[in-house]
Structure 1
Amino acid sequence: NSHRLNLTDQKKAIISKFYENWRKNVGNDIYPVIRLAVPKKETDRLYNIRETVLINLVLKVFNLNKNSDENRLLKNWKNQNANFKFNKYESLITLITTVITQRQSTVNGSEITIDQLNDYLDKLAFANLSQDDKIKIFSDLFNKLNSLEIKYFLKIILKTSVVQNTDTLFLSCWHPDALDYYSVACNLEKLCHKLLSPSKRLNQKELLISINQPFFPELASKPIKFNEITKKFDNQFIIETKLDGERSVVHISQDSNGNFKFKFFTRHAKDYTYLFGDDIQFGTFSKYFKEIFKKDINKIKNLILDGEMLSYDINRNVILPLGYLKSSLLEETFKLEKLQTNQRDQNNPNNLVYTNSRPLYVIFDILLLNDQPIYKYRLKERKKLLNELINPKPGYIEIIETENGATVKDIENSLKNAIENNLEGIVVKDINSRYKANERSPDWIKVKPEYLEEFGDNVDVLIIGKINSKKPSFICGLRVDDSESKKFISFCSVSNGISESDLKEIESLTYDKWYNYREDLPPTDIIEFSKKIPDFWIKPEDSIVFEIKARSIENGMVAKDYVTDSTLYNLYMKSIRRDKSCKDCLSYEEYLEIKLIKDSIADKRKNRQTLDNNNENFSNNIFSQLIGKKKERKRKRNESDDEEDEFFYLSLESDIFAGYCFNILSDYKFNNHSRRVYKCDIEKIVRRNGGEITKSENVGFTENKNLVSISNISTRNTNLLFEKGYDILSPKWIMDCVKHKKILSLEPQYCYKVHENVLKEINSRVDEFGDSYFLQTEVAQFHNILK
């Protein structure tokens, strides 16, 4: 009767039948199977083998050199025309399996048992295993597994779903309490050994969050419209800053001797206690907890706190990006070791290391206190208890600041403040909600601004039209959600950033899905265009999503070409989002909220600039951040600023570059970084002043041409040219030559990457302060020298 069941029910039936046979023929210990079936939930084995390492191991197993077709195929697996909608590794796994099966003798399968495979995987997870040992294990397995088994093995190694959408089914089909217990235990082995018979159910106490047992913390759900948030939370909520750190759940308990011990777990239930310390006296970071309790610490039997571990820059009083956290911990550990050494060696009292950064723990929830399940309390009650219990230690352990909210305006103001302070976003929480472990809860909603240069992320838009030309461009649209219809309206056009391989992939994914606009107009309840119309259009459900980056929003005349009446300026396609459909891209309503915030910020900055012009001391104002303070940087104009504009240089013409051929490798930013001159404009400036443009370095060997390579960023091309003996100059040299209408002698300010023999000659042209012996000093430079 399988044809009567939907796909999920069919999977349930197959898994349940397998379990029935397993219990009958093997027994009640399902752990050897579960850890293979749901590798993402297997925390005991860490292989540290990601895509690149896996590819290199496969190539070495079969002695394939770097020039082989297989090497090129595997190294470029992301560019293959594959649909990653369900599994981003599917293309890589398919390619590797093909390479392996082409080189192995016929294998029918069943040559290896479950226990044997687990033994191999245990060896691969051994931390000190050499690469040669890994190659031997891979070689043995490739000779014993058939093509389907190889695919499963690769998925296990990459920690991805072996069979799509079955991770929860493998647990729930084994025992009715398995999912609930896993949410508070996070350990497959413990789960399998505790839940042996489906008829034996767990009591409520066994399904509680408990001390020193890792669990998956509550996570925020994806954004919804602001008015929906206020309605959903009945106009009662709190707003917190979204922090850029490592989610950290801290367990504190007393042992039998009355000593306080600590456990630190991440959001993935990984134990990081070895980094932060388990002792309240000498732990790397745990030692700071002894100073934060308002009441007698000895009255605390056990405690669980939920928060974010950040990296805090002591000197600059700012929060560093997430990647700095581990280095902060290592510095703190090194400092502690030096302190302990110093305590042992009183003859060396200055042997301390003072570091620039350290961990900072920001607490936003309390879940358990003296065996009482506080997480069952409402959020407002948990917040009150947290503030009654904890006395923050600034710069070490703090409680997150919260704002009470009730309206859409409250959310907008908080988000604007987060954007202005370069923070990641905000989290809006239902004040009456209870904590939900192992759940992306609808009671916590994260609000992150979409990308528009000032913000920090990207926008996802849907292709709705195509304009054919030598370089095709695509008209992209926004989703309109209302009660009457769901259609897409034109928003922007993009051609930059789309490579030949991207075009081939787009053609492959949308083949035979295009309609001729002039012969077959799109229904206006599905797609709507304005002045700019395509040659071809495509139905939303057949189309693909682009991830777009842009400099800003454009409200000028060009915006009238689109239904949205505004568009994106200076945009390019960053990537094709194979994992998203038309339902997942940016909606028009979401865009209007972003635009409103952006316009408000622009007005605020304009007002600040007006104040700046009327008040010389305005630039000394300090704007508060969540933690620490940040001085807003203000651009001060000087006499040369009017010339810091690409249009000034494009307006000049001469023949000063006659006989010179330029290889332009990068854009150019002026000293104050307020403007960028793009490669194409630098090339125009060169041509207008008698120079030629080339993409090849070989022109430099001709008799009548002087090749000049220009760049101010390190790229593969600049490094290759430098290795070949070429010197790389800064685009500033071009700009200053044009401004002075003559070829200027080279000085250090014009050199990006030059060889030592050249640099020695160039350095002789300036004094010890870098001031030129030959070039005239301009007024702005003179002001800087006086400063």
Structure 2
Amino acid sequence: MSSCLLDNVLPPPPNNIDPTFTLLANELFDKLDAVNRHNLQEASTITERRAQIINDFIATFRTHIGNDILQSAKLIFPEKASRLYFIKEVALARLIIKMYKIPKDTEEYNLLHFWNRSYQKSKRFAVDERKIRDLPLQSARIIATRRPFVERCKEYTVPQIDSILDDLSMAKQSQDHSEILQPLFDNLRIEEVRWLIQIVLKKPILIHMEKYFFNSWHPDGYRLYSICNNLETTFNLLTDPNKRFDRGELAIHPRYKFKPQLAEKLTTNYNVVVRKLQKKQEMDPQYEGLFNQLQLESKFYIEEKMDGDRMMLHKEGNRFKFFSRRLKDYSFLYGESFQFGSLTKYLRDAFANNIDSIILDGEMVAYDYKRQAILPFGTLKSSAIQESVRQFTTIDHYDQQTSHPYYIIFDILYLNGRDLSNYPLFFRKNVLDRIIKSVPYRFEVHDARLGSSSADIEKAIREVVTSRSEGLVLKHVQSRYVIDGFRNPNWIKVKPEYLEKFGENLDLVVIGKNPGVKSSYMMGLQNRDQESADYGAYYSFCMCANGFEIEEFDKIERLTNGRWVNTAQQMPPPSLIKFGRKKPDFWIDPKHSLVLEIRARSVDVRPEATFAVGTTLHNMHCRRIRDDKSVEECISMQEYVELKQNYMQDLSLKSQAATTKKKELTKLTSFNEPSDLKQVAIESDLFASFEFLILSDKRDPHGGTITIEELKTLVKRFGGHLVNSIDAETSLQILVITEKNLPTSQRYLVQGLDLIRPSWIFECIKRNHIVQMEPCFLFDSQNLDLYNQRVDEFGDSYTVHSPIDQINAPRLTRNEVNQLRLEFDWDESIRPKFYLFEGITFYVLGESIASQLVRDRIERFNGEVIADYVNCGYIVVPNFEEEEEEFQVETVATLSRMYREIDQGLRITGGRFTSRIPFTVVEQFVHDSIESNSVADPEDYKFY
């Protein structure tokens, strides 16, 4: 086993004195938390001010404490510390209730006990945009009012806190947790209680400043951490800031985990990508010969994207390690030696004889040898566990399982003491092919074909469609490998385009929010047209409230803590953010915001003014928070416009965009009249005895808007007098027209005036006489009891002898009702489930009773089940067809035949799909969509 810098690292000499937890809280945590744009001191930006605080803290620590910061680092980076407490937010909140015997039905009890579902309801904090979701802060506030009076708080050293937290990580019962934590909660300063809870919950404290802290402590700090992801190893080596490490010492090494390189998504057409991947880069002469020998000029690699678990395999001698993309150690599942393991016991002859140490990058999938198919991602770990357990039991229960782990290798990063990450990809692949001996369907090098044109990509993507695979990854043949989750622009992932999905998921910047029991976030697109007057401004684009877990709400509020501005008190400058008609309750400067990956069923191509971009997305679902992306890397407004132009309308969108005939009511007037009211010709004296104060637009029966100016034109044509304010001396009757609750309209209401809906104007014109005022025409009034006497218990008028549906609910066609529903701005928390699958087409596989039950459930929620599997949105495989062994082979064969037919009808022009394919999902997709009242992301429910 070869040694390296990371082996046998000894702790540094002890510090002069032990640092206190108060030092960390006062000089680092509190100061960083308090930074805002109003207290930058001599700094020009918030980041610069935070950097100053970190530098001052480190200087103080080195001067007065010493060079051993490891124990403090475990508290500074709780999310990176190896301790696990198994205490989640809700568990901790309820633990505090027990500790301090908080009575039921009190405000504090309800806040803590129902933290996971009623968090936004507390009126006390609804206006506090900085701390609304900060459990550590709220808990500390409650503890301050409940704990025994302490005349002088106790000061704990960092080693004492570390020791207590070690004990906490070993405790299993809530009673043990209470006994360990309550003395700290009772004796620490309240500010320190807050940070202790933050540490116990393993929530990051140095948001966006982690790398800076490492590199401020030592110039090689973060690189060293990135090659081992271990605080103890890192900070034990980084005691002397003047001692630098050479390139070889900072190389990756077996047994030490690091985050793998990632691929970028496709954002342009195939032709542009091909030109980018064909561009030859400068390289050392030693590689030029192999490059020419392999005939790689103007070529690029095309690999199938596997639907598994990204896994790094480390081998040193006869020992193995397996690390996931998230750095979890799965060695116990797949094996740590040749003797035991669901995978490693088959690898004794898989490597060339002279291989001692190696690091491989690949995808771990589950392979079903009976069906001869790679199974869905979710079955992977159960397959590995089953295979591991089988080795230690004689019970044949596991013999009924037919799947096992299958490692597909696509890169090599280390070989016999040498870091290969900086070598070109073609060199690494050449090495890989020469040293790996395949073990069929257990351990194989991934097939990487060479491509040279967009036609090659199109051919490969057709194969992906036919086999229902995940997609493709295109790779520059000379690309280097960069660790730590770097998204290499020379690795590009390409996925099939589906009917019920707007191309790729979009990475969008949060610019606003509406807090509530179910918060919704407004996303924006940046204008990057340098010739535009508002270059750099963010235009509002869409709002999303679906797909968020409780932890994600926490994280968003934590990352944006202190950045929200109340829109009612201060609007953003137009040079920063532009809103449409819809304005959020709070807005945030995008540079202090974060990125969300949003999946949408479709894009609305109709021009509309709700959002500043002019169009929006339908049926959105948050996939995740993109920690690895900055706001500058998100899609711009110009890129979105290009995507929209290439977007082929699916069945749902066509239904939404279908034009509807105008009602007879709207034919009464032409809204092409000149806006200058002096030019309006008076056709009638119908409204001659009234003065109209028109305060709002009118929502058209077809979902559009009749503006104030258009209403004024109409009133003028029929003899009405228009005013901009109330004149108490007028001899005419004053009518206040509105259907919006405005501050000015409320003032008039208090003065005794009725607020009348614009629909009354149209009804009068339609009948050619003044219709008496009835409840259906009133927006608000202090005399509602009087008006209610004019209708019966069903709202039917005693004097207007027409069906009430012709007065306040015109009879609409089904298409018009659907149109109104689609365009209505539903609050996500009250969206009717009946319309969940409206506009979505399904094909349900099989003719069994189980299949019919699935069809019935889809139709119950307004989905359409059709027999055309080529043009449907989703192909649903019922559980019966999926799980019953006698049907499994037939199901796979049927789907293969169907997808061959789908592929034959697939059209790709100029590197763009002009037709799309359906998602194939399991039945659980339908059930979970209904449960959440939101169309679930089919990526999580794919049938293999």
What band does the TM-score fall into relative to the shorter chain? 0.5 to 0.7
The equivalent position to 1:248 in structure 2, one of 311, 315, 318, is 311
Change (3 A) 1:301 1:478: closer
The alignment status of 1:172 with 2:172, answered yes or no, reads no
The Cα offsets for residues 343-370 of structure 1, whole Å up to 9 and x where unpaired, read as xxxxxxx786231432222212111222
2:366 corresponds to which residue?
A: 311
Change (3 A) 1:482 1:214: same
Q: Is the 8 A contact 1:433 1:443 kept in 2?
A: no
Equivalent AA in structure 2 for residue 123 of structure 1:
D
2:330 corresponds to which residue?
A: 272
The Cα offsets for residues 735-783 of structure 1, whole Å up to 9 and x where unpaired, read as 9xxxxxxxxxxxxxxxxxxxxxxxxxxxxxxxxxxxxxxxxxxxxxxxx
Change (3 A) 1:107 1:114: farther
Q: Is the 8 A contact 1:245 1:310 kept in 2?
A: yes
The equivalent position to 1:114 in structure 2, one of 141, 149, 158, is 158
Q: Is the 8 A contact 1:211 1:251 kept in 2?
A: yes
- What is the CA–CA distance in structure 1 between the aligned matches of 2:129 and 2:390, rounded to whole Å? 47
Unpaired runs of at least 5, structure 1: 255-259, 343-349, 467-472, 603-645, 652-663, 677-711, 714-728, 736-787
TM-superposed CA distance for 1:448, in Å, is: 6.7
2:248 is paired with a residue whose SS is helix
The alignment status of 1:511 with 2:552, answered yes or no, reads no
The equivalent position to 2:648 in structure 1, one of 596, 599, 613, is 599
TM-superposed CA distance for 1:291, in Å, is: 4.3
1:368 corresponds to which residue?
A: 414
> How do residues 261-340 of structure 1 correspond to structure 2 at under 5 angstroms?
261-293=319-351, 295=352, 298-338=353-393
2:327 is paired with a residue whose SS is coil
- What is the CA–CA distance in structure 1 between the aligned matches of 2:459 and 2:609, rounded to whole Å? 32
Q: Is the 8 A contact 1:452 1:549 kept in 2?
A: no
Q: Is the 8 A contact 1:84 1:91 kept in 2?
A: no
Change (3 A) 1:159 1:418: farther
Change (3 A) 1:192 1:107: farther
Change (3 A) 1:219 1:147: farther
Equivalent AA in structure 1 for residue 336 of structure 2:
D
The equivalent position to 2:241 in structure 1, one of 189, 198, 203, is 198
2:93 corresponds to which residue?
A: 55
2:529 corresponds to which residue?
A: 482
Q: Is the 8 A contact 2:568 2:585 kept in 1?
A: no
- What is the CA–CA distance in structure 1 between the aligned matches of 2:623 and 2:437, rounded to whole Å? 47
Q: Is the 8 A contact 2:312 2:362 kept in 1?
A: yes
1:138 corresponds to which residue?
A: 181
TM-superposed CA distance for 1:115, in Å, is: 0.8
Equivalent AA in structure 2 for residue 56 of structure 1:
R
- What is the CA–CA distance in structure 2 between the aligned matches of 1:173 and 1:253, rounded to whole Å? 33
The alignment status of 1:218 with 2:273, answered yes or no, reads no
1:249 is paired with a residue whose SS is strand
Change (3 A) 1:225 1:336: same
TM-superposed CA distance for 1:4, in Å, is: 5.2
Change (3 A) 1:353 1:113: same
The Cα offsets for residues 712-743 of structure 1, whole Å up to 9 and x where unpaired, read as 99xxxxxxxxxxxxxxx9798999xxxxxxxx
1:70 corresponds to which residue?
A: 108
RMSD after superposition: 5.4
- What is the CA–CA distance in structure 2 between the aligned matches of 1:89 and 1:422, rounded to whole Å? 44
Q: Is the 8 A contact 1:669 1:675 kept in 2?
A: no
TM-superposed CA distance for 1:5, in Å, is: 6.8
Instruction: Flag the structure with larger Rg.
Output: 2
Change (3 A) 1:416 1:330: same
Change (3 A) 1:222 1:7: farther
TM-superposed CA distance for 1:567, in Å, is: 5.9
2:482 corresponds to which residue?
A: 436
TM-superposed CA distance for 1:536, in Å, is: 7.6
Change (3 A) 1:14 1:131: same
- What is the CA–CA distance in structure 2 between the aligned matches of 1:498 and 1:89, rounded to whole Å? 20
1:376 is paired with a residue whose SS is coil
1:380 corresponds to which residue?
A: 426
The Cα offsets for residues 139-182 of structure 1, whole Å up to 9 and x where unpaired, read as 12211222321222222223232233332233222222222222
Q: Is the 8 A contact 2:129 2:565 kept in 1?
A: no
The equivalent position to 1:40 in structure 2, one of 79, 101, 123, is 79
TM-superposed CA distance for 1:600, in Å, is: 9.8
TM-superposed CA distance for 1:378, in Å, is: 0.7
Query: What's the TM-score, normalizing by structure 1?
Result: 0.61
The alignment status of 1:94 with 2:94, answered yes or no, reads no
- What is the CA–CA distance in structure 2 between the aligned matches of 1:85 and 1:154, rounded to whole Å? 21
Change (3 A) 1:46 1:239: farther
Query: What's the TM-score, normalizing by structure 2?
Result: 0.52
Q: Is the 8 A contact 2:343 2:406 kept in 1?
A: no
- What is the CA–CA distance in structure 1 between the aligned matches of 2:178 and 2:304, rounded to whole Å? 47
Q: Is the 8 A contact 2:544 2:622 kept in 1?
A: no
2:719 corresponds to which residue?
A: none
The Cα offsets for residues 623-647 of structure 1, whole Å up to 9 and x where unpaired, read as xxxxxxxxxxxxxxxxxxxxxxx97
1:765 corresponds to which residue?
A: none
TM-superposed CA distance for 1:114, in Å, is: 0.5
1:189 corresponds to which residue?
A: 232
The Cα offsets for residues 238-277 of structure 1, whole Å up to 9 and x where unpaired, read as 34444443332111222xxxxx221112234333222221
1:674 corresponds to which residue?
A: 842
Q: Is the 8 A contact 1:185 1:214 kept in 2?
A: yes
1:366 is paired with a residue whose SS is strand
The equivalent position to 1:153 in structure 2, one of 196, 207, 212, is 196
Change (3 A) 1:454 1:409: farther
Equivalent AA in structure 1 for residue 531 of structure 2:
E
- What is the CA–CA distance in structure 2 between the aligned matches of 1:268 and 1:336, rounded to whole Å? 28
How many aligned residue pairs are there?
587
Change (3 A) 1:361 1:462: closer
1:599 is paired with a residue whose SS is coil
TM-superposed CA distance for 1:382, in Å, is: 0.7
Change (3 A) 1:550 1:178: closer
Comparing 101-110 with 133-142, which one deviates more in the overlay? 101-110
> How do residues 279-678 of structure 1 correspond to structure 2 at under 5 angstroms?
279-293=337-351, 295=352, 298-338=353-393, 341=394, 353-405=399-451, 425-445=471-491, 447=493, 453-454=500-501, 459=506, 479-485=526-532, 486=535, 509-512=566-569, 534=581, 550-553=600-603, 558=606, 571=619, 586-591=635-640, 599=648, 674=842
2:347 is paired with a residue whose SS is helix
Change (3 A) 1:385 1:113: same
- What is the CA–CA distance in structure 2 between the aligned matches of 1:155 and 1:206, rounded to whole Å? 35
TM-superposed CA distance for 1:396, in Å, is: 2.0
Equivalent AA in structure 2 for residue 392 of structure 1:
S
TM-superposed CA distance for 1:183, in Å, is: 2.0
TM-superposed CA distance for 1:392, in Å, is: 3.2
TM-superposed CA distance for 1:305, in Å, is: 0.8
TM-superposed CA distance for 1:460, in Å, is: 6.4
The alignment status of 1:123 with 2:167, answered yes or no, reads yes
Equivalent AA in structure 1 for residue 529 of structure 2:
D
